[in-house]
Amino acid sequence: MSEKWTPVEDDTQKKRVCYFFDSDIGGFHYGPGHPMKPTRIRMCHSLVMNYGLYKRMEIFRAKPATKREMTQFHSDEYIDFLSRITPSNMGSYVKEQYKYNVGDDCPVFDGMFEYCSISAGGSMEGAARLSRDKCDIAINWAGGLHHAKKIEASGFCYVNDIVLGILELLRYHPRVLYIDIDVHHGDGVEEAFYTTDRVMTCSFHKYGEYFPGTGELRDVGIGKGKYYALNFPLRDGITDETYKSVFEPVIRQVMETYDPSAVVLQCGTDSLSGDKLGCFNLSMRGHANCVKFVKSFNKPLLMVGGGGYTMRNVSRVWAFETGLATGVELMPSIPMNEYYEYFGPTYELDVKPSNMEDMNTLRYLERVKNILSDNLRRQGGPPSVQMQDVPRTSMDILMDDANAEDDFIPQDERRHQRLLDTRRQADGELSDSDDEGEGGRRDHRSHRERDSPDGSSSGRKFNKGVMGINLSSAPGSGSHGVGPSANTTMPQVIASGRLDSMDVDPQAQESVAASAAEDSGASTNRAPSEERPPS
């Protein structure tokens, strides 16, 4: 077991987790001063990797969604517009920008369509893997853009990856439940399924002079979808205890009444305390409790991102919830990572609540719960779905042979990084080569100490601290010591003259220098040790 996490209590069922991440996602930028920053996803991924969660799940880089796949929900004209417009030609699309609500909250930026493709592709492939029983939980933190409409952008969202993911789930599942814990109402998803009983939407959000201005208690759906849209309007300052007192009873009754065969959970973190655009007072654990509770129903679960505008808190919570999905709770001390300075001054994982006043009275919450309970009773049980053939799409072709490209990799070449990412370390696997230095298993003794009968070293001795030289702390090193960019080879240390200043036995220094020279192919004229002047 790693020292960076502990098993979650009362979580005995192991889940197969698929985690989707595309390294390109952090390179997009909405523009100066814009609150939406895709870098937060890369910050979260850095924490996930440095906590070692890659050992407990499969990591995938999803195929970006195509224009044709996006038009399963969005109009052809709108998607074509998104694929054509760029910052350099936006002057030619003034009318279209007004028509499709692009330009203010949803600015035109470099790579905008590629950004939408990555977000939608992760949610669609995650849904496809859930439908084909390739995993129990799929995670796409680049998704969760719940405001996008069929023919317009809204609230920093251009393409509604959630609707596309749900449509993929509906091809195999009779009923899908959508739960939204973002501080804003999930209006785009609710609008898309407002007239059907095959998708039930349940949103907990701030209501009243607040974007997007929808999500009233009386919005319950129409036609066949009447009473299949649930909205729980909340007031400022809601705390962990208050949120739990309404979330768990409502979701439990929804599960019993609607009996969904798959669940989509939008984990927007702008409901956290201290968010730049939010007005709730949830801590990290209060937010993560929703994930833990939904997971406990053992339904196929698609977890997506969403809002969240204080980057250090967004990455903290999503990393913690990734751990919960895999069955572990992350330790409070944040490990060294490339964004380590962002988490100061405490360098702790937790996001604590403030002393903000909770405007949600007990009387108000009870009244809303009773109304929602009555609406659920009017459903009359889970709706039935007529059996029919599932039409084939491009996603089926991808899922039929997800490893088709593996056949083209020569056997004598190093395995592709994608194959290495999809490996999952089995519990109890104690290989020091993969897990070196964790859990106190590493043997710090030299080979001479092990070979000696009395356990003492019979050869030359290295002074304290040299057996594991910390190159990142050597003079002149500006690296954090994390990732490939921080690796420093021994020949580089010798060439820089840093090794001479280290407290190393002269014979050991000579041996290391000779090995480094042989590795680099250089010829070394070395004087005999007895002729060597003392250091």
Active site residues: 147
Count Cβ neighbours within 10 Å for each residue of 430-443 and write b for 16 or more, e otherwise: eeeeebeebeeeee
Dihedral sign (CA 208, 214, 215, 216) = positive
The answer to whether the annotation marks 172 as part of a ligand binding site is no
- Distance CA(115)–CA(109), nearest Å, equals 10
Count Cβ neighbours within 10 Å for each residue of 119-141 and write b for 16 or more, e otherwise: bbbbbbbbbbbbbeebbbbbbbb
Picking from 198, 127, 130, 114, the residue whose alpha carbon sits closest to that of residue 162 is: 127
Cross-strand bridge partners of residue 178: 201, 264
The answer to whether the annotation marks 305 as part of a ligand binding site is no
- The string of DSSP letters for 352-409 reads ----------HHHHHHHHHHHHHHHHTT-SPPP----PPPP-HHHHHHHTTTGGGGGS
- Distance CA(264)–CA(275), nearest Å, equals 23
- Distance CA(201)–CA(180), nearest Å, equals 8
The answer to whether the annotation marks 447 as part of a ligand binding site is no
CB 46 within 8 A of CB 339: yes
Residues 6+ apart with CB under 8 A from 301: 130, 136, 137, 138, 262, 263, 264, 265, 294, 295, 325
- Distance CA(160)–CA(143), nearest Å, equals 8
- Distance CA(472)–CA(519), nearest Å, equals 22
Count Cβ neighbours within 10 Å for each residue of 337-360 and write b for 16 or more, e otherwise: bbbbebbeeeeebebebeeeebeb
Packed helices 112-131 and 161-170: angle between N→C axes, nearest 10 degrees: 30
Tokens of 202: 């349940």
Picking from 457, 127, 160, the residue whose alpha carbon sits closest to that of residue 303 is: 127
The answer to whether the annotation marks 270 as part of a ligand binding site is yes
CB 182 within 8 A of CB 275: no
Decide: helix, strand or coil at residue 528.
coil
Residues flagged as binding site: 105, 155, 182, 184, 270, 309
Residues flagged as binding site for substrate: 105, 155, 309
